[in-house]
Chains A and B, each alone.
Chain A
Amino acid sequence: MRRTPIIAIMTVLALTQVLGAEGLGIRQAELDNGLKLVVLPIDGVPRVECRLVYNVGSADDRPGMTGMAHFLEHMMMNGSQTFGSKDWDKENRELEKLDIIADELMATEERIEDNARAGKAPNEDLLDRRDQLKDEFEEQEKICSGLVDDVNVFANAGASSINAFTSADLTAYQATMPTNTLELFFWVHADLMRNCAFRDFYTEREAVLEERRRAIERDKRRLYEQTNALVWEAVPYRNPNLGWPDDVRAIKRRQMIEHYHKYYVPNNAALILTGDITMERATDLASRYFGAIPRAPAPPRLYTRNAIPAGEKFLYAEERDRPSVQVLYETVPGHHADTLALDMLSDWLGSASGPLYKKLVINEQLAVSVNAGHGSMKLGGMFRIRAAVREAGRHEQLNRRINEIVEAVLKGDKEAAPKQEDIEAFAARLERMLTEQLTDMKSAAETLVYSVFSSGVEMFERVVTEARALTPDTVLKRAAVYLVPQRRTTVHVTPPGSGAVPDPKAGTIAELVRRLSEEQDPDRRRELERLVAKLRDEK
């Protein structure tokens, strides 16, 4: 693409006026290069919550390269060509040399692994070459790290909460800046949008792999990954957010730079600023620092949706975790008009006055606790009910009761269904929550991060009014479209050894003995006898 001439005065394309009748004070603008700006002034301390959001997440990762979005987020924290280097030209040359060694090392290791998988004898030449490359790699890495300067550019600016995260939908970078050093955030991130250095790639890779190992041990991440893979047949939320280790190990630095050039462009990003800031100052700073970055061709956009679901899915997992039953329904993306009805219903279902709690926890004593929620992202949503099982072995019963109660609610059962006053309470709570969220600069920034590329921030202006317009009838009608068995994934978590994962050995001996008693053929009898003996030995 041709670089467009820098236009000093930015044209504010959309929505610079205060939105809506009530006016939450959220203002939006867009630079000529496509960078979105979302500003919410909040009175209080002289600080600004800063977020730079890129519209790219693990859902954009390609198969074979999962973990790319998240790994890239790590690399952005290691400085740019402008800061963090003692001599960028030299460092760059050395980094490229390191890449060449690393690529060959990776290819060699892969060949060694492939041989092992194919059952071939180890190839001594390959093993020698690998060791040699490892030494070269370490040497070169030392040279590279000798050229690194301090990357902690925010250190003396009074900034805090410097952090970043990657979700399926987006990658966000954050900092809390004192008003008088706010400009630094703009300078750093405008620089990083063009000049990320991709240094310490290989050490960072280990950190990324370690992060997933920890997540598996600590947060039962595999359970989460597997559940996602069941729910999201087509939607790439089935990608593991942290990537498959095999893939992460195979990502090349050059490929990551390509990914960065494709997605880290102004027309795929939004700046979110809340707190001690005005729209004028924000637009002034944004156009000064980001205005010169040219618009790029639009990155690939994801529109994949799950096809109409055709069956019910179950996952019976044994984990050292609280025994529970989870019932999930795949719903709609964040911008969809039906999200509100689903939000309302889940909110009410999960509350202490809702039927799940009353019946399962109080009356029937099947569950210790129960909660429900609905969350939507760019490409789809999930309605979730989770109950902690009171007594081992009663998962099935609890599961059945949850489904029965939900069905009864959807049928509009007089006793069980939500009433108009429940909807009013929901709308009031929503309004309170929204007011609280949008008056606290930190949570305001967070809220805006999640909605800017999904439902759009305009949604906040309508949501309370729309919630008030709901009726029990519309809520149930809308929800009934989604809360059907074909959209359901059920997860049972039981303690290890509880039998959720069957041990087929148990019945085998008995069956073999039975067959032995019927078998006439001497050869077959001998085989069967041998088997029974073998099985008994193993037991």
Chain B
Amino acid sequence: MRRILPLVVLVLFALGVLPVNASRMSRAQSGNQPAAGAALSSVKEFKLENGLTLLVIEKPDVTDVACYSVYNVGGCDEWAGVTGLSHFTEHLLFKGSTTINAIDYAKEIPLLKYEDDVRAALQLLEDDARFLVESGRDVPLDMLKKIGALRAEAVRVQGELESLVRSDEFDNMFTAAGGASLNANTWMHRTMYMVTLPANKLELFYWVEADRLSNAVFRQFYKERDVVLDERLRSVENLSSGRIFESALASISEGCTLGSPVLGWPSDMRRYTRPQQLAFWRTFYRPDNAAIVLVGKVDAGEALSLAKRYFGAIPRPETELPRRVKRNENPVGRRKFVGHHDSTPQVALAWSTPGAADAHYVPLDMLARLLNLQSGPLHKRLVDTSKAEGVGVSFYGSKESGMFVIVAVPMAGVSLESIQKEMEQLLEEVRLGGILKEDFESARSQIIVEQTAILEQSENLASLLCESFANGDWRALFENNVRAASLTVDDLARSASAALPANHATLLLALKSDSNVPATPPLLEIPGVPEAGTDTVEIARAAIAEAEKRFDADHFEARQWYDGLAARAIYRQAR
């Protein structure tokens, strides 16, 4: 079974903010959705002492169990230097542990440490050289020789490490067990892992997941770094619309970090180091920041005893989880972003809004659905009148903050300004309570019908439970339904006035242009000078010894971590 490459989350965003394909727009992108197929009472919730949440829905009439795990970490948790690391961590967690994908871990440890040293020294020297080149100065030959030697050494040690990896063990293991849909994805505020297994193979999932939480080994790190850079190249830089989406997103958000691209900024992605990754993983991958969600043929009691067996011994760290920005300050003016791409022009109004933990969330979610109705006011006003080819609204976000975006693709010959004006007026009508009762009712009934279908399927149910957990409370999956049922037009109007005020909107315009936005230039390449006839390893080792005093805290902590892992692995073997 091949694992599908993680879906680049940007595609969702692209659909949401500036959709390319009008027919795909009417699907709301929001996370919390009211449920009808399953009831709140069918969810059994357990919490281990270390803070791990376990959610189980027993469905005796099926044969498989959908096994999901979710961690509260994503693009909005990242800071300058580590942007994209949540997504990269997701990639690397399929590279195994001290057991999975390992051939001889004891042999691997010193090599991993050495590879980190080589890479750290190389990065420092390349930075120094780049500084000199950018300042218009020459790079000393000696420095170039060291860079050359370290590069050769990096290639050599990577090859040596490669021979100690048993690839695809992860996939093979699940395939052999009859698993399906092995996958993972990363979003702004959460990372999710999933696999569907035959009921009698549940323990395999537990073992793998616990292993991922405590014994992960970030193999093939620097190879994989090129893979994500390439992913970015394909999905962002080489698309004329790619960078505008990012720029637009960054323009909307000020304080909240939803504007940070999930894939990461290229200047950070090129500089990831394994020790940095390890520190990031240890910060966020902890039992009190995660939930295990099981839906299907599973016994809750057994699920709990397995959870205790596999996760019980993983300690809750004493450090606290990093805090997220809770709220944006009001803008003092109106923002506008104008980008160019080689597709049809688009116009959008966007707001940075409160998130799922806010009372305005459910009304705004409902409003987004209402505006997405084919029979709704937005379509009537813009599509039915042949002013726009397509329209759409997306509303998404984290527990703390969200984004509400209304977008339209005008028909040829219709000005962006006139569409913008129509959207502004429509929004003002909404704020004043000008929603037709019939539109309101059909939005509500559509939700119910949609949800009944969605919640019947185990995978969907598990995935939505994960989303709700990440949004602060899994119960919201069911409770928001009740809340939505009691909403009135005035509730929507009040929330629109509070969260989507006219003067806080950011106007986004994508204009058609034949000249492509140039891609981010590669980092200035520093040519290393390989020294023929001398001992590369000697030069590299001397360069490492010299650079070591400039290594950072992550580097030294990683060394200790490897030692700890080795000790644990030996202990397990001895038992």
- Are the chains A and B members of one assembly? yes
Roughly how many angstroms separate A66 CA and B327 CA in the complex, as a whole number? 13
Given A117-B354, A297-B556, the answer on whether A512 and B429 have CB atoms closer than 8 Å is yes
Looking across the interface, which residue of chain A has its beta carbon closest to that of B270? A303
Contact call B327/A246, Cβ cutoff below 8 A: yes
Contact call A527/B135, Cβ cutoff below 8 A: no
Contact call A234/B134, Cβ cutoff below 8 A: no
Per a CB cutoff under 8 Å, which of A247, A262, A501 touches B503? A501
Contact call B247/A262, Cβ cutoff below 8 A: no
Enumerate chain A residues within 8 angstroms of B322, measured Cβ to Cβ.
62, 64-65
Contact call B323/A250, Cβ cutoff below 8 A: yes
Looking across the interface, which residue of chain B has its beta carbon closest to that of A335? B135
Flag whether A429 is at the interface (Cβ < 8 A). no
Contact call A508/B338, Cβ cutoff below 8 A: no
Stretch of B55-63, B146-154, B404-412, B512-520 that contacts chain A: B512-520
Contact with A along B78-102 (1 / 0, CB 8 A): 1111010000000000000000000
Flag whether B317 is at the interface (Cβ < 8 A). no
Contact call A301/B552, Cβ cutoff below 8 A: yes
Given A307-B520, A534-B433, the answer on whether A64 and B324 have CB atoms closer than 8 Å is yes
Per a CB cutoff under 8 Å, which of A233, A455, A501 touches B246? A233
Per a CB cutoff under 8 Å, which of B247, B271, B432 touches A233? B247
Flag whether A355 is at the interface (Cβ < 8 A). no
Flag whether B413 is at the interface (Cβ < 8 A). no
Contact with B along A321-340 (1 / 0, CB 8 A): 00000000000110111000
Count of residues in A whose CB is under 8 Å from the partner chain: 82
- Kindly provide the distance from the CB of A186 to the nearest chain B CB, expressed in whole angstroms: 23
Taking CB atoms and an 8 Å cut-off, the chain A residues in 483-539 that contact chain B are 486, 500-505, 507-508, 511-512, 523-524, 527, 531, 534-535, 538
Roughly how many angstroms separate A200 CA and B357 CA in the complex, as a whole number? 33
Enumerate chain A residues within 8 angstroms of B550, measured Cβ to Cβ.
267, 298
Enumerate chain A residues within 8 angstroms of B180, measured Cβ to Cβ.
none
Contact call B502/A310, Cβ cutoff below 8 A: no
Contact call A303/B329, Cβ cutoff below 8 A: no
Stretch of B186-194, B198-206, B419-427 that contacts chain A: B419-427
Enumerate chain A residues within 8 angstroms of B246, measured Cβ to Cβ.
233, 307, 310
Looking across the interface, which residue of chain B has its beta carbon closest to that of A64? B323
Looking across the interface, which residue of chain B has its beta carbon closest to that of A336? B134
Flag whether B359 is at the interface (Cβ < 8 A). yes
Roughly how many angstroms separate A134 CA and B86 CA in the complex, as a whole number? 39
Taking CB atoms and an 8 Å cut-off, the chain B residues in 281-329 that contact chain A are 322-327, 329
Flag whether A114 is at the interface (Cβ < 8 A). yes
Taking CB atoms and an 8 Å cut-off, the chain B residues in 502-553 that contact chain A are 502-503, 517-521, 549-553
Given A118-B359, A298-B552, the answer on whether A315 and B333 have CB atoms closer than 8 Å is yes
- Kindly provide the distance from the CB of B128 to the nearest chain A CB, expressed in whole angstroms: 11
Given A247-B325, A250-B323, A503-B502, the answer on whether A307 and B248 have CB atoms closer than 8 Å is no
- Known contacts A59-B80, A295-B549; 5 additional CB pairs below 8 A are A234-B265, A455-B135, A459-B135, A523-B436, A534-B432
27 A–B pairs (Cβ distance < 8 Å), ordered by A: A63-B78, A63-B324, A64-B322, A222-B329, A230-B335, A233-B246, A235-B80, A236-B80, A298-B551, A298-B552, A298-B553, A299-B552, A300-B81, A300-B553, A305-B265, A307-B267, A311-B338, A311-B339, A313-B336, A313-B337, A317-B332, A319-B333, A337-B134, A500-B333, A507-B421, A508-B425, A534-B433
Chain B residues within 8 Å of A, Cβ to Cβ: 76-81, 83, 127, 131, 134-136, 243-244, 246-248, 250-251, 253-255, 257, 259, 265-268, 271, 322-327, 329, 331-340, 354, 357-359, 421, 424-425, 427-429, 432-434, 436-438, 502-503, 517-521, 549-556
Chain A residues within 8 Å of B, Cβ to Cβ: 1, 34, 59, 62-66, 114, 117-119, 220, 222-223, 225-226, 229-230, 233-236, 238, 240, 244, 246-247, 250, 262, 267, 295-305, 307-319, 332-333, 335-337, 455-456, 459, 466, 486, 500-505, 507-508, 511-512, 523-524, 527, 531, 534-535, 538
